[in-house]
Amino acid sequence: MIHTLEWTDSGVRFIDQTKLPTEETYVTCKTYEQVADAIRNMVVRGAPAIGVAAAMGIALGVKTSKADSGAELKLEFDRMCDAMAKTRPTAVNLFWAIRRMQDKFEYLRTRPIVQTKQALVEEAQRMHAEDIAANQAMGRHGATLMPAQGGVLTHCNAGALATCGYGTALGVIRAAVEQGKRIHVYADETRPFLQGSRLTAWELMKDGIPTTVISDNMAGAMMKQGKIGVIVVGADRIAANGDVANKIGTYTVAVLAKENGIPFYVAAPFSTIDLETADGSKIPIEQRNPREVTHIAGKAMAPEGVQVENPAFDVTPAKYVAAIITERGITRAPYEDSLRKLAEATATVSR
Amino acid sequence: MIHTLEWTDSGVRFIDQTKLPTEETYVTCKTYEQVADAIRNMVVRGAPAIGVAAAMGIALGVKTSKADSGAELKLEFDRMCDAMAKTRPTAVNLFWAIRRMQDKFEYLRTRPIVQTKQALVEEAQRMHAEDIAANQAMGRHGATLMPAQGGVLTHCNAGALATCGYGTALGVIRAAVEQGKRIHVYADETRPFLQGSRLTAWELMKDGIPTTVISDNMAGAMMKQGKIGVIVVGADRIAANGDVANKIGTYTVAVLAKENGIPFYVAAPFSTIDLETADGSKIPIEQRNPREVTHIAGKAMAPEGVQVENPAFDVTPAKYVAAIITERGITRAPYEDSLRKLAEATATVSR
């Protein structure tokens, strides 16, 4: 069992993902500002994990608040939500989680502060549990799309480490393996942060799932050689038309999949679907520090002063996506209809 | 002026490409075995540079030989050629260069040993000069295909550092810039060896050509955003049907180019064209040490014991190649005809 993030009596505890796979260390954030820093610095990353981390950060801030009136607590709460919202712009789960905490806070407005604190802590813990349950449901649905045997390529880390446990894309793979499917995972190393080689390989090896690490630019050759039967990745935001923002390089994988006749699947909780964003062109793409590209393990890998681009995400147009796997089921094109119907059909159903 | 490899009185001198861009150091090989090691360990790399390095290594071995009969020298010579042939399997320029030295040796067979030694040293030096001249001719032809302004993407390093000077793909870019074209180069970092960020960016910055380094998996996003007008890469071997073996990841770039309607050009000397190999499936692809993928700057970036693939090259089918630029001119599909005609038409022309 991997404990990506946990609520503890002394604060929010994270496995430090910047240190894996060579060091398995944990950090406990004792203030909401520390949680915001952990998100910004990718101690915790992955859209679903970021969402729950933000909720827990807000719960932590509220719990430790010295405010002695509802109005004062509201001021502090707004500041906490703002701080979380500014950490990373692309993963919509972050904003979904903040909104959910805001709704809860609003609902509790007239209660005594002590009750509000308790209820927000419980809400964050509920989101943690729901996330794992959603991943397991996603796994059950998605496993039907996995081959009985053979290579499955994934990009970045959409695993237990990107969520509260089990994973989205890796949850689908785990569920398929649990059903007896003989899957060999090809993990793109995923430059510049190397989530694939550092994180995906680490968590799959823990589970004994056969894994081969490749440089990102080897994925095309593996597909062309027939080593990859299916591709499954996660998502940071899915627009209403089915365009998918995910880790930089996902678009490339999708184009290669199309060219080689390989189905390209996206697994993500419903909270990743952003029906208010019409298409991928409207999704804000985070640019990160050039140093992530120019330096590895502290060593310069490019001449000093060279220009760098470092977009953390790209957008894969819906036309490349064979299906989107959510905890509510599998949806297919045309996504404008199917995603809306999925939202409507389940809006009245309790999660 | 970049001195990638040079014949000197004390041996064959290389800029150590494993140390760039942080250290500009040179190593002088005093035996042919040391030259073979330099090729194997990628102190020198790039198909045209490897070819000339092998020729110089053989010349060095012959020059320093203690053999006192033609028969004995022949035995040693064969051993030198064998050693060179075993360094790296994919770049055909290596075998072309060895063959050229063998032909020369055969031609000189009845001469006194001292004359043979001198002639082989001169032959290797001639190949060095011819390589630079070929690159300059390639540049003149290829520059016509470059845009008047805008982004040009290249993969790996097909520059001065991959040749005896000026470069193939980067020679085309250099010639275009010399003609006043306003080109901004996007350099794929090119994992695992990082020839793009370490070498291409370094040599282009030396020449003041604007360069942006990107991770390999960002190239797709750059193309989709309209930042890339043209792509030009080198080659390690071009089969008779126009299939191109080049640095791993080239196939991916070509597929992305097709999907985005961007012309994909290959620049290579005629010695890279292997008419004896019918198509790309017959080109041997070197697998290198997994550690190149799992470790960067000596630090483990993947869990211990994970499986790894590390093919150094891939094959781009001819259908993706808009044109092949050689020192003899620009050729286009159908390559089976155009490459053969290029060979026939110029077979009688002195180089």
Please give chain A's pLDDT, 351 residues, in tens.
899 999 999 999 999 999 999 999 999 999 999 999 999 999 999 999 999 999 999 999 999 999 999 999 999 999 999 999 999 999 999 999 999 999 999 999 899 999 999 999 999 999 999 999 999 999 999 999 999 999 999 999 999 999 999 999 999 999 999 999 999 999 999 999 999 999 999 999 999 999 999 999 999 999 999 999 999 999 999 999 999 999 999 999 999 999 999 999 999 999 999 999 999 999 999 999 999 999 998 999 999 999 999 999 999 999 999 999 999 999 999 999 999 999 987 654 444
Nearest to B346 by CA among B260, B258, B241, B275: B275
Q: Supply B227's token pair.
A: 């930042």
Q: Supply A287's token pair.
A: 């640019």
Nearest to A175 by CA among A140, A203, A147: A140
Q: In what order do the strands lie in the sheet with A237-239?
A: A273-274, A237-239, A244-247, A313-316
Q: How far apart are CA B139 and CA B116, in angstroms?
A: 34
Name the DSSP class of A200: I
Q: Across the interface, do B221 and A255 touch by the CB < 8 Å criterion?
A: no
Q: How far apart are CA B259 and CA B255, in angstroms?
A: 6
Nearest to B61 by CA among B95, B28, B30, B97: B30
Q: What angle do CA B218, A162, A171 make, to 5 degrees?
A: 105
Amino acid at B180: G
**A:B CB pairs within 8 Å:** 186
- Interface contact B202, partner A, CB < 8 A: yes
Q: How far apart are CA B289 and CA B43, in angstroms?
A: 15
CB atoms inside a 10 Å sphere around CB A260: 16
Whether pLDDT at B252 is above 70: yes
3-state secondary structure of B168: coil
Q: How far apart are CA B201 and CA B204, in angstroms?
A: 5
3-state secondary structure of B26: strand
Q: How far apart are CA A50 and CA A131, in angstroms?
A: 11
Q: Supply B331's token pair.
A: 């050729």
pLDDT of residue A349: 45
Chain A residues lying within 8 Å of B248, measured CB to CB: 215, 217-218, 221
Q: What angle do CA B228, B232, B233 make, to 5 degrees?
A: 130
Q: Across the interface, do A303 and B189 touch by the CB < 8 Å criterion?
A: no
How buried is A343 (Cβ within 10 angstroms: 0-12 exposed, 13-18 middle, 19+ buried)? middle
Computed over its alpha carbons, how large is the radius of gyration of chain A?
20
DSSP states along A272-340: GEETTS-SGGGS---B--THHHHEETTEE-S-TT-EE--BSEEEE-GGG-SEEEETTEEE-SSHHHHHH
Chain B residues lying within 8 Å of A217, measured CB to CB: 188, 190-191, 216-217, 248-249, 252
Residue A66: φ, ψ to 5°? -100, 5
CATH 1.20.120.420 positions along chain B are: 5-136
Asked whether B161 and A159 are in contact (CB, 8 A), the reply is no
Residue with tokens 């449901």: A137
Q: Supply B160's token pair.
A: 């001065």
Asked whether A44 and A38 are in contact (CB, 8 A), the reply is yes
Chain B residues lying within 8 Å of A307, measured CB to CB: 210-213
Q: Is B139-350 a domain of CATH 2.40.40.20?
A: no
Gap between the terminal Cα atoms of chain A: 24
pLDDT of residue A344: 87
Q: How far apart are CA B280 and CA B240, in angstroms?
A: 9
Whether pLDDT at B351 is above 80: no
- Band the pLDDT of B346: cuts 50, 70, 90: low
Determine which of B285, B301, B304 to mutate to test the interface with A (most A C-beta atoms within 10 Å).
B301
pLDDT of residue A350: 41
3-state secondary structure of A73: helix
Q: Across the interface, do B251 and A221 touch by the CB < 8 Å criterion?
A: yes
Q: How far apart are CA B53 and CA B101, in angstroms?
A: 12
Q: Supply B4's token pair.
A: 């990638």
Q: How far is B99 from chain A (nearest CA, A)?
A: 30
Whether pLDDT at B126 is above 90: yes
Would you call A78 a catalytic residue per the annotation? no
Question: Dihedral of the CA atoms A82, A86, A90, A92 (nearest 10)?
Answer: -20
Q: How many CA atoms lie within 13 A of A144 on its CB side?
A: 10
pTM exceeds 0.90 for this model: yes
Name the DSSP class of B154: E
Q: Across the interface, do B252 and A249 touch by the CB < 8 Å criterion?
A: no
β-bridge pairing A11-15 and A5-8: antiparallel
CATH of domain B5-136: 1.20.120.420
**Interface confidence (ipTM) of the complex:** 0.95
- Find the helix or strand (DSSP H, E) in which A265 lies: strand A264-267
Q: How far apart are CA B101 and CA B76, in angstroms?
A: 13
Q: Supply A149's token pair.
A: 């045997």
- ω into B284 cis (within 30 of 0): no
- Interface contact A24, partner B, CB < 8 A: no
Q: Supply A112's token pair.
A: 């005594």
Q: A186-229: per-residue pLDDT in tens?
A: 999 999 999 999 999 999 999 999 999 999 999 999 999 999 99
Q: How far apart are CA B62 and CA B35, in angstroms?
A: 13
β-bridge pairing B11-15 and B26-29: antiparallel
Asked whether A57 and A36 are in contact (CB, 8 A), the reply is yes
Chain A residues lying within 8 Å of B252, measured CB to CB: 217, 219-220, 252, 256
Residue B7: φ, ψ to 5°? -85, 125
Q: B54-78: per-residue pLDDT in tens?
A: 999 999 999 999 999 999 999 999 9
- Residue count of chain B: 351
3-state secondary structure of A164: coil
- Band the pLDDT of B350: cuts 50, 70, 90: very low
3-state secondary structure of B187: strand
From the list B198, B212, B215, which residue is nearest A307 (CB)?
B212
Q: How far apart are CA A196 and CA A216, in angstroms?
A: 9
Q: Which residues contact B2 (CB under 8 A, 6 or more apart)?
A: B15, B160, B161, B165, B203, B206
Long-range contacts of A29-32 (CB under 8 A, 24+ apart): A29/A57, A29/A60, A30/A60, A30/A64, A31/A60, A31/A61, A31/A64, A32/A57, A32/A58, A32/A60, A32/A61, A32/A80, A32/A83, A32/A84
Q: Hey, which residues does B283 pair with through a beta bridge?
A: none
